[in-house]
Amino acid sequence: MTSLLLTLALSGCAEEPAPGPLLLSPREQLIRASVDIRGVHPSETELVAIEESPKLYDDFVDRYLEDPRFLDRVREVFNQNWQTRNGASYFDPNEAGLFGVSDARVADSLGDEPLRLLSFIVENDLPYSEILTADYTMADPIVAAMWNLDYPEGATTWEKAKYQDGRPHAGVLTMNTTWMRYPSMGGNANRHRANAVSRMFLCDDFLVRPIVLDRAAVDQLTEDPENAIASNEACMSCHSTLDPLSAHFYGFFFEDGAEGLEQARTYRPENEGAWRDYAGVGPGYFGKPTRDLTELAQALVEDQRFGECAARTVYESLFQKDLDDGDWSDFTVHYDHFMAEEMNIRSLVRSVVVSEEYLASQPADVERVSGVRKVSPAQLAGIVEGITGYRWRFDGRDGLTRHDLGLPGLFGGVDGQYAATPNHQPSLSVAFIQERLAQAAGWDVASHDLDPERSGDARLLLYVTVEDTPESNPEAFEAQIRHLYLAATGLPLGEDATEPDALVEVWKYVYSVEGTETAAWASVISAALRDPRLLFY
Amino acid sequence: MSGIFTRRGLLQGSAALAAAGALGTPRKARAAAGERKFLFLFASGGWDPTTVLDPHFDSDKVDMDPDTELGSLGSLTYTGGDPRMDVSRFFSRWGRQCAIVNGVDVHSVGHESARQFVMTGTSASSFADWPTTIAYHSQVEYALPHLVFSGPSYAGTYGSVVAQAGGGTLLDLMDGSLLGRSERPAPIPASPADSMVDAFVYGQAARFADGKKGLSRDRAEALVGSLERTMELEGRLFEAGLNDLGNDMLDQCIRAVEVMRLGLTRCSMVGIPGGWDSHGDNTVQAVQQTDMYMVLDQLFEHMSVTPGSSTRWLIDEVVVVAMSEIGRTPLLNGSGGKDHWPFTSYLVAGSGVNGGRTVGATDPGLVGLPVSFSTGRESDSGDMLACENVGAALLELAGLDPQQHLPDVQVFDAILG
């Protein structure tokens, strides 16, 4: 008996802790951080440095967080929740005196008004609560003209600006763009707008709440919908809190059928009490009376869910998964850090990207968390441009970040119209886009680099000339292909790698079919750019 | 389907195979065996069930369109009469293959939430819609498992099987013409060379997937599967008629069933054109629904004379589901329009459908009534019919176990033949 107890005790003492995650290599860690923070791969110099001294990781993260491209990424990440980039210009630019400015260009600027306030906050290390309490908006000349803003004369970039129609300023809550994106007229009584606020800033979407309408509720709705909303328990379960939120937005309200930019862009303080004519419920915030938009903003930023929602938006984007119960302890660490750092988004991102869970190649629970991330359309564009100097543009517009051709949606990005959540599973269209972009970039690089009269240095073909063939200079071919892989993936090929031989065969075959070195090298480059390690990180 | 160009066949013939190393095995064996295909048609904005599918001529609580009258074919009833000649023509020709499903509760009167409910059976954004779910769980490998020409799509976590036509951009990607449209244009690589690069890339992706576990492997394998499909489609674009998506609903429907016939697609979604949210003028409903039945008549005609992939005629292996996210109020409002209503109707037709009948029921106020799920008839001891019950029946029609996808949701058996 004694020995059995001893055995049990020893076995208990010797119990191994649950296996932790397997971590990425130092190179892979830096690639993940760089792609997430800046949307591009690190330079080879940086990768060599981290390989030699992995402890430099935190220093690199700090440096990347100061990179201007970090602000682009912040806008991209929060747009996945806010979805103000929807390609809509809402009005004829000519009405605002923007003659010759395309609708698409106007849509780019308007969609960014809320997101530019966010990136201004992040850039200046202001608390995230400023997004709802700022007494200004952000504008470029197009936004300024469309919304008739007080904007610095002669300025050409994004600057602080003010609405001039006497409206209260409450950050995103008082921007025209927000309420053009989320219109709510007539019988809807601003409820769509109220739900947009709840979804964007509390991560609480009324529309996904389960609804149980019993027969009594249906009968009541048949007779008098507004009365049912105000008295039936099933309806009240949402409307008792939704309708008081809705009551804040009547200054932005104009009747169905009202047309024209001037009418739509003007805030009307005299309409603020129009809730009496519609839902009949005065303004309030989850049981607490509020008088106006500035008080609503204050109530929102004091709600614990406000900070949680911001932290959740960042966390879910960096892990490419919906937050679930299994994430809670890990998430809480980052949320607490965010709040302790006065809602500083930069600190929040840093907290996540230096964590062990983030750097896992094989998470502890591989069925719940993916150890590989898929690049977004903007990340793919940035990575390929960083490698090749090539940007896929159509009619002066970026193909992978603008919605003109629908490429971002086809690649799994959100478009503010049909695709409301990012798709992290590669699909047929993802594979096609990577293929065609690789072919376009491969051709561009090969045409440039093999041109004896080119301007500037070669971009990728550093080891071969147009005269070289696999037979005349096999060493150069091998070195060139190894360099292509290093440039494309950030990871050196092993000594016994099969890629050089395989791609020499590709080169020979394409050359035999097409008859030009440019076509042969374009195919080889495109093959390297289609490596899965470009798509995943 | 013999002679179909397959990924493995291409790879085995490729000089790059040996250099590319061991390749992954495609997850699904291609098979000629028949699986039902599904064409979903969606009227986004909310159609009026009384316009065609759910007539109420004896109720003073329902405003029916003037000059219409009850049409019937056996136990299938619809709104007929002179203004609905094209509707009557459709049902007289194809009504025996059609089930009308009335009184379906969509749980909401908001477009977005109701659309999610009728498409997925839940309010959770992580759930895929019916066509995506069916496509994802197919036994057969399809190059374009779920092809969305237009209309809603909820990919959930099955996004790898959804291909959005994207206003034609997908086709420009497939045939490579997008390369020539960019600011620094590139030529389309010659086919044999392109295939060799494709085979090499496929090998790289398969090796990458081999080293992964769990969700990482799912993502990596989704890339492998997608690469297989890109290669097959590049070779079959013209055969499938995918060089031109067409401009109208009939074009898209014909192309949808054509790619089904060729074994490229299992499910497809086509939006039914029109401004359906008729708050201001409900007369648009009659025009648009009549147009839809004219299209359906031509579609069914096409399917009835076109050989199927595993059945004699295409009509014997395709299920057509026409639906909308909400219904409309029974009475006209002050503007001559009708507002949102939480009960709607479906038209389900084709292979495996218990046709020639109307199932489900609404009372004189257009409110859903309890029905027997086995007979589809009104029954005091029956259950309220909701969109998830119809969805579960579609999953069963597709050969899936609905309980695995929607536990505890009762299947509306009445539409199953």
Query: Which residue among B20, B108, B155 sits closest to A502, beta carbon to beta carbon?
Result: B20
Per mean pLDDT, which range of A466-470, A504-508, B1-5, B136-140 is the poorest?
B1-5
Query: Which residue among B112, B159, B190 sits closest to A513, beta carbon to beta carbon?
Result: B190
| A190 and A246 co-located in one domain | yes
Per mean pLDDT, which range of A55-59, A180-184, A259-263 is the poorest?
A259-263
Residue B353 lies in a domain: yes
Structurally, chain A folds into a number of domains equal to: 4
**Per-residue pLDDT at B19 exceeds 50:** no
Q: Which residues in chain B are closer than 8 Å to A408, comparing Cβ atoms? A: none
Cβ(A465)–Cβ(A446) below 8 Å: no
Residue B205 lies in a domain: no
Q: Of A320, A341, A362, which residue is a domain's last? A: A362
Distance from CA of B243 to the nearest CA of A (A): 15
Residue B31 lies in a domain: no
Residue B329 lies in a domain: yes
pLDDT tens, residue by residue, B23-75: 333 333 333 347 999 999 999 999 999 999 999 999 999 999 999 999 999 99
Distance from CA of A222 to the nearest CA of B (A): 8
| A247 and A145 co-located in one domain | no
Higher pLDDT, A222 or B146: B146
Mean pLDDT of chain A: 92
For A56-75, what is the mean pLDDT? Answer: 98
Nearest chain A residue (CA) to B191: A513
DSSP A255-310: -TT--SHHHHH---GGGTTGGGGTT----EETTEE--SHHHHHHHHHHSHHHHHHH
Please tell me the distance from the alpha carbon of residue B138 to that of residue B128, in angstroms, as a whole number: 14
Query: Which residue among B153, B173, B193 sits closest to A418, beta carbon to beta carbon?
Result: B153
Please tell me the distance from the alpha carbon of residue B339 to that of residue B342, in angstroms, as a whole number: 10
- Indicate the pLDDT class of residue A258, thresholds 50, 70 and 90: low
Distances from the Cα of A243 to the Cαs of A181, A182, A305, A344, B16, in angstroms? 19, 16, 19, 32, 64
| A249 and A353 co-located in one domain | no
Query: What's the complex ipTM?
Result: 0.92
Q: Which residues in chain A are closer than 8 Å to B201, comparing Cβ atoms? A: 435, 527, 530-531
Residue A312 lies in a domain: yes
Residue B366 lies in a domain: yes
- Indicate the pLDDT class of residue A456, thresholds 50, 70 and 90: very high
* DSSP state for residue A165 in the 8-state scheme: S
Please tell me the distance from the alpha carbon of residue A37 to that of residue A50, in angstroms, as a whole number: 17
Residue B197 lies in a domain: no
pTM of the entire predicted model: 0.83
| A199 and A129 co-located in one domain | no
Residue A181 lies in a domain: no
What tokens were used for A315?
């966390």
Residue A22 lies in a domain: no
Is the Cβ pair A440, B197 closer than 8 Å? no
Closest C-alpha to A330, from A345, A312, A305: A312
Residue A16 lies in a domain: no
| A398 and A525 co-located in one domain | yes
Which residue type sits at B219? R
Q: Of A140, A174, A208, which residue is a domain's last? A: A174
| A163 and A220 co-located in one domain | no
pLDDT tens, residue by residue, A501-535: 999 999 999 999 999 999 999 999 999 999 999 99
For A329-342, what is the mean pLDDT? Answer: 98
**Per-residue pLDDT at B3 exceeds 50:** no
Please tell me the distance from the alpha carbon of residue B58 to that of residue B364, in angstroms, as a whole number: 8
Which of B:143-162 have CB within 8 Å of A?
143-144, 152-153, 155, 157-162
| A532 and A393 co-located in one domain | yes
Residue A30 lies in a domain: no
Residue A38 lies in a domain: no
Residue A21 lies in a domain: no
pLDDT tens, residue by residue, A94-145: 999 999 999 999 999 999 999 999 999 999 999 999 999 999 999 999 999 9
Q: Give me the pLDDT at residue A373, please.
A: 98
Higher pLDDT, B328 or A264: B328
Buried b or exposed e, range A172-190, using 16+ CB within 10 angstroms:
bbbbbbbbbbbbbbeebbb
State which H helix or E strand residue B21 sits in: none
State which H helix or E strand residue B414 sits in: none
DSSP B83-124: GGHHHHHHHHHHGGGEEEEEEEE-S-SSHHHHHHHHHHSSS-
To probe the interface with B, which of A219, A428, A511 has the most B CB atoms within 10 Å?
A428
The enclosing domain of B324 has a CATH number of: 3.40.720
Please tell me the distance from the alpha carbon of residue B230 to that of residue B128, in angstroms, as a whole number: 23
Please tell me the distance from the alpha carbon of residue B111 to that of residue A53, in angstroms, as a whole number: 55
| A325 and A407 co-located in one domain | no
Percent of chain A with pLDDT over 90: 81
What is the interface size between A and B, counted as CB pairs within 8 Å?
A: 236
DSSP B327-381: EE-SS--TTS---EESEEEEEEEETTB--SEEES-B-TTS-B--B-TTT-SB-TT
| A439 and A354 co-located in one domain | no
Q: Which residues in chain B are closer than 8 Å to A396, comparing Cβ atoms? A: 183
* Dihedral (Cα; B394, B400, B406, B411), 10-degree rounding: 50
Q: B125 exposed, middle or buried (CB, 10 Å; 0-12, 13-18, 19+)?
A: middle
Q: Of A292, A317, A339, which residue is a domain's last? A: A292
- The domain in which residue A281 lies consists of 186-292
| A343 and A420 co-located in one domain | no
**Angle of the A191-202 helix axis to the A68-82 helix axis, nearest 10:** 130
Residue B112 lies in a domain: yes
Cβ(B104)–Cβ(B366) below 8 Å: no
What tokens were used for A530?
């289609």
Residue A15 lies in a domain: no
Which of B:262-321 have CB within 8 Å of A?
279
- Indicate the pLDDT class of residue B11, thresholds 50, 70 and 90: very low
Residue B50 lies in a domain: yes
Decide if B204 touches A, using CB distance below 8 A. Answer: yes
| A323 and A392 co-located in one domain | no
Structurally, chain B folds into a number of domains equal to: 1
- The domain in which residue B383 lies consists of 37-165+245-415
